[in-house]
Amino acid sequence: MKVGLVGFQAGGKSTVFELLTGIAPDPSKAHSGQVGLATVADTRFDALVEHYQPAKISPARIELLDTPGLDRRQQDVNLQRLAIIREAQALVHVVGAFSGIDPLEEVTRFSEELVLADLQILGNRIERLETDVNKPRPDRDELRAELEALQPLAAELESTGSLAGIEMTETQERVTRSFALLARKQRLVLVNTGEAEEDTGYAGAITSNGYGLMAAAVGLELELGALDESDRTEMAAEMGLSGSCRHELMQAILHVADLITFYTCSDKEVHAWLLRRGSTAVEAADSIHSDLARGFIRAEITPSDSLLELGGEKEAKAAGLWHVEGKDYVVEDGDEIFIRSGI
Ligand SMILES: Nc1nc2c(ncn2[C@@H]2O[C@H](COP(=O)(O)OP(=O)(O)O)[C@@H](O)[C@H]2O)c(=O)[nH]1
Ligand SMILES: [Mg+2]
């Protein structure tokens, strides 16, 4: 799972990358994109660590991809830059509002770039298919089915500028998979405000497009992060900042990426794991180790919020909140899981 930091040049993408990964952007990778691991800030994980006092702690991590920014004037270079974004499963669009840019206008401009790039790919394929279906080829029926699957998608994209909300048929999923369409990816708009923000008049219009939205003074938060705790608290209070946007931002990223967190806990290790929402217990087992999935017998579940509230596993069990589930159990955000496995 890779989350792409995207947007026009000088919006603050690399600043966000450094804030979340702790890695200073490498100028030699500015054109190709840079990947780094960000630790997921998670108060529930911190509370579980406090409770179990384990020998080892393993917070969840997520891969971030810092990408070269799009050029406002030179649209032709953007197609190539957008190709780098295709490998990301979800997008964080960093909007440099600190330099006076209007967030709403910028979101519209950026979406137009993505739509143009997708339409070019779809259009090329459609054009090719339109010729090929008229040739005496053995796979004519298949090609016609592909053409009929793609045409409404191109039309939808052209008229609405998005594919994020639509239900695709199985054929449509299959024939578009290799395109990794940008307009299909879930998106969080991160408005980089430069200082504590007052005007949020743009919010309604952005969220009504189906995008997640968050505002933060990313540059200042990065500077705050370099201070020791008492200076940080003082300066944050002075500037009206939370000083903890990392937590909010990581959680917002998990939300748009449709990821939930489950935990495995003992006095040896407390480990947070990310899982696609809707995944089953056996898929959770597989994300830990394929052997655990192969030998899966059952999953023992305790909702971690209840465990923390009641003071422990035993207490949660006594309250009837511990439950045993099979392979097909759909894991919930916050589940503490113990996998019984025969291997
Ligand atoms: N004043 C101000 N400058 C910022 C802020 N965030 C980033 N910058 C500056 O804007 C410039 C571009 O930021 P960068 O993260 O490299 O943008 P990118 O091109 O999107 O990767 C850099 O000089 C940053 O120091 C901010 O919140 N406030
Ligand atoms: Mg950059």
Residue 289 is part of a domain; what is its CATH number? 3.10.20.30
Same domain, yes or no: 191 and 293: no
| Co-location of 233 and 314 in the same domain | no
Q: Are 191 and 331 in the same domain? A: no
Q: How far, in Å, are 6, 10, 184, 246, 269 from residue 16 at the CA level?
A: 11, 11, 23, 9, 30
| Rounded CA separation 15/22 (Å) | 10
Question: 185 C-alpha vs ligand 2 centroid, how far in Å?
Answer: 21
In 3D, which of 43, 62, 58, 41 has the Cα closest to residue 270? 58
Degrees (nearest 5) of the Cα angle 27, 30, 33?
Answer: 130
Task: Decide if 55 is inside a domain.
Answer: no
Domain match, 121 and 178 both: yes
Query: What does the alpha-carbon distance between residue 43 and residue 28 come to, in Å, rounded to a whole number?
Result: 35
CATH number at residue 161: 3.40.50.300
194 lines ligand 1 (CB under 6 A): yes
> Rounded to the nearest whole angstrom, what is the distance from the C-alpha of residue 319 to the centroid of ligand 2?
51
93 beta partners: 6, 189
**Are both 128 and 177 inside the same structural domain?**
yes
Structural domains in the chain (count): 2
Q: Find the domain containing 328 and state its range.
A: 278-341
Give me the average pLDDT of each 10-residue run along the chain (343 residues): 95 96 94 95 95 97 96 86 93 95 94 94 97 93 96 94 89 95 95 80 89 92 86 82 82 95 97 97 97 96 96 94 97 97 88
Distance 69 CA to ligand 2 centre (A): 6
Q: What pTM, to 2 d.p., does this model score?
A: 0.92
If asked whether residues 225 and 325 sit together in one domain, one would say: no
Q: Hey, is 299 helix, strand or coil?
A: strand
Give the whole-angstrom CA distance, residue 318 versus residue 240.
44
Which residue do the tokens 């270079």 mark?
77
What is the pLDDT at residue 332?
98
- Judge whether 97 lies within some domain: yes
Distance CA 3, CA 20 (A): 12
Q: Is residue 92 part of a domain?
A: yes
Tell me, what's the pLDDT at 326? 98
Same domain flag for 83 and 180: yes
pLDDT of residue 243: 62
pLDDT value for 244 = 72
